[in-house]
Amino acid sequence: MALIEDYALIGDLQTGALVGRDGSVDWLCLPRFDSPACFAALLGDEDNGHWRLAPAGAGACTRRAYLEDSLVLESVWETDDGTVKVTDFMPQRDRAPDLVRIVEGVSGSVEMRSVLRLRFDYGAIVPWIRRSDGHRVAVAGPDSVWLRSEPPVRTYGEDFSTRSEFTVEAGETVAFVLTWHPSHEARPRLVDPHESLRHSLEDWREWAERCRYRGPHREAVVRSLITLKALTYAPTGGIVAAPTTSLPEEIGGVRNWDYRYCWLRDSTLTLNSLFALGYEDEAAAWRDWLLRAVAGDPGDLQTIYGLAGERRLPERELSWLPGYERSTPVRTGNEAVGQLQLDVYGEVIDSLYAARGGGLGGGRPHAWNIQRCFLDFLKDHWREPDEGLWEIRGPRRHFVHSKVMAWVAADRAVRTLEQDPRLPGDLEGWRAMRDEVHREVCEKGYDKERNTFTQYYGSRDLDAATLLIPRVGFLPPDDPRVVGTVDAVRRELRRDGLIRRYSLDDTPDEAPVDGLPGGEGAFLACSFWLADALCMTGREKEAREMFERLLAVRNDLGLLAEEYDPRAGRQLGNFPQAFSHIGLVGTALLLAGEDTAH
Ligand SMILES: OC[C@H]1O[C@H](O[C@H]2O[C@H](CO)[C@@H](O)[C@H](O)[C@H]2O)[C@H](O)[C@@H](O)[C@@H]1O
């Protein structure tokens, strides 16, 4: 079984595929990130769908890398008979998604094998396969997938798979193109694989060159930005939290969730990273996505939407999939859609505030009207308990982070009005709310005895999200309560050098706050937040050490999942995860003195 970090991401800004070191594409949803997978071996085995293209009898590739600053992956096998490389990518597109795999002989003469097992509907459906016009065509229900090669190589069917064996000599290429198309339509248009490769490289190069970061970790920052960009759904401007579902937070555990949707929290933070580094177009596209998605009653605001702003994302379990290393259930949809997560208002308003300050005009009259509606809602509801940013599935609580973010919402709205008094708004009401939230959090969310903010009112538990208190400006970094919180979190939530998001096993007699059985790894975003907090509280050396430790956790391609198990030395959770890459970019900016946050 491949480790999570054995995978590489390729994508076309509408969906993404995971390619293993052995040349197997084990995850691909077509045509969108949130469509059913036609390759789901990631969450089961080869019979759930995959496409392996590699030298016959070979194991993992000898080396692999993305070509320059792109999402084009090159895997090289050195064999006894010669060296061969496979270049995998998905050209950016209008409609039909293509997966292109170009085999190139480098030296000697290498026998190659392609085994394609298409299984629609997350591994459940074996399609019917026929030949048409030089293609192999797989059809089941609404889906059809077309496979061709240039030059044509012989394919044959065996064991419910489409196979080919061919030999490449030095200098020869064989390019495969796999294209999804609605099954009721005629043959899709054909792309030229070599020309598409040139375009893809050019597009990514131009895009990456626009990055404004000038600090010492440029390679890591650019790779994170490319990954974040790869998680944007270009037709609508939506941003997914990750391209996968149900990669476990604990091997063999139940904490397996579907991240192929747009969380307002994750999206706003992604957007802040892109915006801070010069990517205004993405920011504008997401702002417009947001305005469409949240239109309606502000009380109906959801924390999660579909790629085009869809609201219903019913959670269900795919019983036929055995799960990644037997981690079940495998889920699609996400029940957290119906939760009350008060922090989201603050994150959205903060992001629009930053965009306005950065000249994006966050800006449009419509955008300001929505922020006013959010504030009106929050004024009436901030005193309520909620599920918080960790989307707990236990009883609602008065989470300190949620209240702090309610303060952020009021603070940014007040500041907007102070900067532009012509805008309509309840300046006095919002000021009063801001003061009241601040007072209450400092009174009820702070443990005087231990000099630390806690996870929720009245609790002794800690929460790494309180590390954000100085970052969002709720208290200055040199406030003793901030320093005390950073120290307490570092002391109590540390796990082999990294940070857990909250305590899970410290009080075994009590039900865990998140209402879920089992444990989880260290949370990478929180570990970046600790580095930020250390830096802001004057402990730059420790912050740098923490950052270097986190950089070392990335896989060979610079990718991060949501969590990490420091004891097993392996990544955990959905992959690659926007939250973790946002954390990396934020810390790199802060350490380089390029941070533009408040
Ligand atoms: O841990 C329980 C929850 O885990 C998921 O939420 C997490 O991922 C979200 C997307 O990155 C992030 O916004 C949130 O802060 C994380 O806690 C899952 O989606 C939830 O359904 C689940 O309850």
**For position 356, what pLDDT does the model report?**
82
Regarding the beta carbon of 5 and ligand 1, being less than 6 Å apart is answered no
Chain mean position to CA 248 = 14
Output the pTM of the full model: 0.96
Q: To which H or E segment does residue 487 belong?
A: helix 480-492
Atom of ligand 1 nearest to the CA of 389: 15
For Cα atoms 311, 13, 209, give the angle at the middle one, nearest 5 degrees. 130
Regarding the beta carbon of 261 and ligand 1, being less than 6 Å apart is answered no
pLDDT, tens only, 296-342: 888 889 999 999 999 999 999 999 999 999 999 999 999 999 999 99
pLDDT, tens only, 194-236: 999 999 999 999 999 999 999 999 999 999 999 999 999 999 9
**For position 29, what pLDDT does the model report?**
98
On whether the CB atoms of residues 210 and 589 are closer than 8 A, the answer is no
**For position 186, what pLDDT does the model report?**
85
**Rounded distance, CA 366 to CA 167, Å?**
60
Checking ipTM against 0.85, whether it exceeds it is yes
Q: Which overall architecture, per CATH, does domain 4-185 show?
A: Distorted Sandwich (2.70)
DSSP3 helix / strand / coil % (the chain, rounded to 5): 35, 25, 40
Task: From 247, 304, 390, 575, give the residue whose CB has the most ligand 1 atoms within 8 Å, as the site to mutate.
Answer: 390
User: Which residue spans within 141-194 are E strands per DSSP?
Assistant: 143-150, 156-158, 161-169, 173-182
**For position 595, what pLDDT does the model report?**
79
Regarding the beta carbon of 529 and ligand 1, being less than 6 Å apart is answered no
Determine which of 92-106, 217-231, 398-412 has the lowest per-residue pLDDT on average. 92-106
Regarding the beta carbon of 241 and ligand 1, being less than 6 Å apart is answered yes
Q: Give residue 392 CA to ligand 1 midpoint distance, Å.
A: 8
**Rounded distance, CA 352 to CA 333, Å?**
28
Task: From 228, 257, 302, 563, give the residue whose CB has the most ligand 1 atoms within 8 Å, as the site to mutate.
Answer: 257
Q: Give residue 379 CA to ligand 1 midpoint distance, Å.
A: 26
Strand partners of residue 110: 168
Closest among 434, 433, 436, 475 to 452, alpha carbons compared = 475
Q: Is the pLDDT of residue 358 over 80?
A: no
Q: To which H or E segment does residue 53 belong?
A: strand 50-55
What integer is the mean pLDDT of 505-527? 82
Listed as own residue / partner, the contacts of 383-386 with beta carbons closer than 8 Å and 24 or more positions apart are 384/340, 384/342, 385/456, 386/339, 386/340, 386/341, 386/342
**For position 598, what pLDDT does the model report?**
47
> Which residues, at least 6 apart from 388, have a Cβ–Cβ distance to it below 8 Å?
341, 342, 343, 397, 399, 401, 402, 456, 465
Regarding the beta carbon of 180 and ligand 1, being less than 6 Å apart is answered no
Q: And the tokens for 24?
A: 């197997």
Question: Please, which pLDDT band fits residue 261 given cuts at 50, 70 and 90?
Answer: very high
> Which residues, at least 6 apart from 459, have a Cβ–Cβ distance to it below 8 Å?
397, 513
CATH of 208-591, one of 1.50.10.10, 2.60.40.10, 3.60.15.10, 3.30.70.360: 1.50.10.10
**Rounded distance, CA 104 to CA 175, Å?**
8
Residue with CA nearest ligand 1 atom 7: 390
Q: Is the pLDDT of residue 271 over 90?
A: no
**For position 580, what pLDDT does the model report?**
98
pLDDT, tens only, 386-397: 999 999 999 999
Regarding the beta carbon of 347 and ligand 1, being less than 6 Å apart is answered no
| Domain locations in the chain as residue ranges | 4-185, 208-591
